[in-house]
Structure 1
Amino acid sequence: MTQNSRSPRSALSRPVWPDRAMLWRWHFFAGLFCLPFVIMLCVTGSLYLFKPQIETWLDRDIDRAVAEGTPRSVSAQRDAALAAVPGGHFLALEMPTRARQATRVLVEHGADVARVYIDPVSLRVLAQRDEQTRFERLVFRLHGQLLIGNWGSVIMEMVASWTLVLIVTGLLLWWPRRTGIGGTVLPRLGAKGRVFWRDLHAVGGVWISLVLVLFLVSGLPWSFVWGSAFSAVESRIGRLVSVQDWEIGAVPIAATISGHATMPGMSDSEMAGMSMDSRSEATTAQPAIPPEGLDAVYETARRLAFPAPALITPPATAGAPWRLRSDAQNRPKRIEASVTAQGQVTHITRFADKGLSDRLIGYGVAFHEGHLFGVLNLLLNLIVALLLTLASIAALILWLRRRRPGHLDAPRASPRRIGWGALAVMGLMGVLLPELGVSLLLLALANRFLSGRFSALR
């Protein structure tokens, strides 16, 4: 009788959601892990927004050195670049964007790619740079891979996953329990001390939370684990009707430039080997003498005027067409054409011709990079990066001000259970975000078997 009477009460008292103390503790540890990476992402992401302008500024002295006069043929410029890289293979030529500009020829040699700057008038080599060490590539690899390849991509994917946890718990902690816009909708900038830093963190975080979620989700297709799984599923159900034009994890630079997709789930060495084979393809199986037709294809490319940067890549096999494509950051403007050696266009693929998933990812990536709707997109991304940096710094200051020397001073653990509703949400997020699911499972096992010995794990 007593047991029967307890059963309904225990069922009713079982919590659905965690209490405020538990939310605060989860928010604290998620922030402790994520915030250093978040600040780095804000800095590198802000720099990447202006990569065309920065690259133009870095190359200004090279372009100024171009001689005045009538340019030589493009094929002669290509040959001058190949002569500067012994054993190199012609990989691509980047279309100029200004009247007086050095010709950029991309030459593959071994596992590396050299960007050779040629004076179109004198055929003099003005500069030669490793493509992977250019500003654009360094910032891109630091932003998404921490400069350590696929392991870095996995780490950044875990950071993105836990940042979503940070956003959800932060919104629940912010949810107003009183009336008034001060400290809820607008920060109390006239306040001092803890109130000022709290408002800067909480209110600033709320304002950027929606855009930040879009940033995180739109960045997932680039990540190694999530992106590889997504690409495998899409390929299996047959929706990817065009060549994938975004990188998944650490992709060999030659494969990126040639525009060939890579198979998911491979190691760096396997991907490098696969890209060499699948490109027949544009490198190892390419004849020693560069294929004819570059001059005619170049004239066609000038007439078509694809959005910059536009690349001309040679045919993969003898008799195959040349390829002309735009790598514009505003991906809905990207366009691709097949051109014969005589300069005739045989096929054009526009963004609208891609599959639905390709288009959705293209819109997301263009928004992420700040070029989907022009200057407004760029300014929005820059403001979000600035506010997110300020909110992160404010969070660190709040913790350092209350932390005792030599102590972590994390929020105390709640005696209440986490709640079945929260467990269901976490389970769903763990399935959709593999790194989050694995880390949650490891935390649960550590709490079950090690918390008795290490109190910090509870």
Structure 2
Amino acid sequence: MSQPTPSFYDLAWRWHFYAGLFVAPFMILLALTGIIYLFKPQLDPLLYDHLINVSPGHHRLSADDQLQRVQATYPQGHISQYLPPINPERSAQFVLSNAGRQLNVFINPYSGEVLGEQDAKLNLQAVARALHGELMIGTLGDRLVELAAGWGVVLVVSGLYLWWPRGQSAAGILWPRLSRRGRVLWRDLHAVTGFWGAALLLFMLISGMTWTGFWGKQYADLWNQFPAAMWNNVPQSDVEARTLNSAARQTVPWAMENTPMPVSGEHAEHMAHGAHTSGPAAPGITLQQVVDTASTRKVEPGYSITLLTTAQGVFTIAVFADDPRNDATLHVDQYTGEVLADVRWQHYSNVARATEMGVMLHEGKLFGSLNQIAILLICLMILLSSISGLVIWWKRRPKGGLGVPPLRHDLPTWKTGVVIILALAVAFPLVGASLIGVWLLDRLLLLVRSKPQHERAS
């Protein structure tokens, strides 16, 4: 008599359980913080009307006059960025460090009145962004978010295997049986939402991982390349443009993160003659001249200008545009005003273009309110799927235990499952390492539990 074909359903369920228990809290947090950041364009003017909105005047003060007003108000402050008004009804903004705090300071560009300040790291949007990217705990949080995203891929793949119809009716598979109650209804909500949202969740996970510190950096180093000739005549430092970005603030586009920061020409000349290179910046051009350069080069409004910190530094004009085709990153020599680099959409590789488009879709910015509504629905689906999964687990868990799905210890090796794990290990090394670790621990537990009672007692 031939042996029956083994079923790997329980094994897939076990992996889905492990993935879900780890991932669900992260998915809930990421969905909630994502919704907050998604509606930044609507929330900021509502919450900070007195700081952001101004009445248009006939004459706008120069950027240098605005800078002097802010410096007079914060004489001990160190100003790091200037954000010109995005339109005639908006204030200008300076980012500065003062008494150990990083502040966003808003100024009326017509009257020169300093309108007030906002904690740059503890306002609603900055907190939402920092939680979303690194749980507000730095590198460890970044790695945990990356792990959760990678395990989210395991969750989707195993969930689709469990969902796959095995002779059942379409009810509970393609639509929930709303007439049912209790665990069955929660199971239907979880399975149906997970199925219809699977591709969308995978898109959100992968597009979000491009910003992570480990996988995202490797991805950028591999695919985000520019022609070497672009930098042939540009004196370069060993600092990358990614240093201009932080958990709470995005300055340069993703495509520019692994590009070198140039060195201002006069300083490079000093270096060639062995002159002393340390000391503060003493620029030969004004902030208004940098603004004029942005206007002459037709940089889209909404850009920022990163100011100087050292004698070799450059002014950086950057706009991370809602439509990536309007992205711009310009580095300007602080002594001569020469534009050392001017990188736009047409310079990006095809992978960088696809990634930037994916990021803007992820953030709900590419197609205006339509994109926002679509991402909101995805976030709500993620919340429903995560919460329903936790409810199912809570309802079926045994008292005093986690309720790990049981598994036969005599199953043969699941070749398809092994291939999937190996593929994930290659594609996402950090996730692959954790997958192998959990798999080894799970096999050990199964071996211990499969031993006869007298063997364990001895």
**Which residue of 2 is the match for residue 436 of structure 1?**
431
What secondary structure does 2:285 align onto?
coil
Structure 2 residue 212 is the aligned partner of structure 1 residue 220 = no
CA apart distance, 1:449: 5.0
Cα distance in 2 for partners of 1:85, 1:317 equals 20
What secondary structure does 2:41 align onto?
helix
Cα distance in 2 for partners of 1:215, 1:144 equals 13
Cα distance in 2 for partners of 1:296, 1:54 equals 33
Conserved? CA contact 1:331–1:366, under 8 Å? yes
Structure 1 pair 386–252 and aligned structure 2 pair: CA distance change class (3 A): closer
**Which residue of 2 is the match for residue 72 of structure 1?**
61
Structure 2 residue 23 is the aligned partner of structure 1 residue 34 = yes
CA apart distance, 1:213: 0.6
Structure 2 residue 362 is the aligned partner of structure 1 residue 382 = no
**Which residue of 2 is the match for residue 312 of structure 1?**
305
Cα distance in 2 for partners of 1:344, 1:237 equals 21
Conserved? CA contact 1:234–1:240, under 8 Å? no
Q: Name the amino acid aligned to 1:51.
A: K
Cα distance in 1 for partners of 2:129, 2:285 equals 34
> Which structure 2 residues correspond to residues 358-369 of structure 1 after superposition, within 5 A?
358-369=352-363
The superposition leaves residues 190-220 of structure 1 with CA deviations (integer Å, 9 ceiling, x where unpaired) of 3333332221110111001001111111112
Structure 1 pair 42–432 and aligned structure 2 pair: CA distance change class (3 A): same
CA apart distance, 1:60: 0.5
Structure 1 pair 352–54 and aligned structure 2 pair: CA distance change class (3 A): same
Higher mean alpha-carbon deviation, 141-150 vs 177-186, is at 177-186
Q: Name the amino acid aligned to 1:162.
A: W
Structure 1 pair 256–111 and aligned structure 2 pair: CA distance change class (3 A): farther
Structure 1 pair 214–111 and aligned structure 2 pair: CA distance change class (3 A): farther
Structure 2 residue 189 is the aligned partner of structure 1 residue 200 = yes
Cα distance in 1 for partners of 2:228, 2:366 equals 23
TM normalised by structure 1 equals: 0.79
Structure 2 residue 400 is the aligned partner of structure 1 residue 395 = no
CA apart distance, 1:157: 0.9
Match of 1:420 among 397, 405, 415: 415
Cα distance in 1 for partners of 2:98, 2:316 equals 21
Cα distance in 1 for partners of 2:241, 2:119 equals 21
Cα distance in 2 for partners of 1:321, 1:276 equals 7
What secondary structure does 1:408 align onto?
coil
Conserved? CA contact 2:130–2:248, under 8 Å? no
CA apart distance, 1:42: 0.8
CA apart distance, 1:40: 0.9
The superposition leaves residues 207-238 of structure 1 with CA deviations (integer Å, 9 ceiling, x where unpaired) of 01001111111112211221222234447997
Conserved? CA contact 2:172–2:188, under 8 Å? yes
Question: C-alpha root-mean-square deviation of aligned residues, in Å?
Answer: 4.1
Conserved? CA contact 1:247–1:256, under 8 Å? no
> Which structure 2 residues correspond to residues 34-433 of structure 1 after superposition, within 5 A?
34-63=23-52, 70-108=59-97, 113-178=102-167, 180-234=169-223, 252=246, 257=251, 287=280, 291-299=284-292, 301-302=294-295, 306-314=299-307, 322-337=315-330, 348-415=342-409, 416-433=411-428
Q: Name the amino acid aligned to 1:395.
A: G
The superposition leaves residues 241-281 of structure 1 with CA deviations (integer Å, 9 ceiling, x where unpaired) of 79999969x955799547897779xxxxxxxxx99999x99
Conserved? CA contact 2:242–2:258, under 8 Å? no
Structure 1 pair 240–212 and aligned structure 2 pair: CA distance change class (3 A): farther
Structure 1 pair 335–345 and aligned structure 2 pair: CA distance change class (3 A): same
Q: Name the amino acid aligned to 2:187.
A: R
Structure 1 pair 253–170 and aligned structure 2 pair: CA distance change class (3 A): closer
CA apart distance, 1:420: 2.1
TM normalised by structure 2 equals: 0.79
Q: Name the amino acid aligned to 1:329.
A: D
Conserved? CA contact 2:121–2:248, under 8 Å? no
Aligned length: 430
Gaps of 5+ in 1: 1-8, 265-273
CA apart distance, 1:125: 2.4
Conserved? CA contact 1:103–1:118, under 8 Å? yes
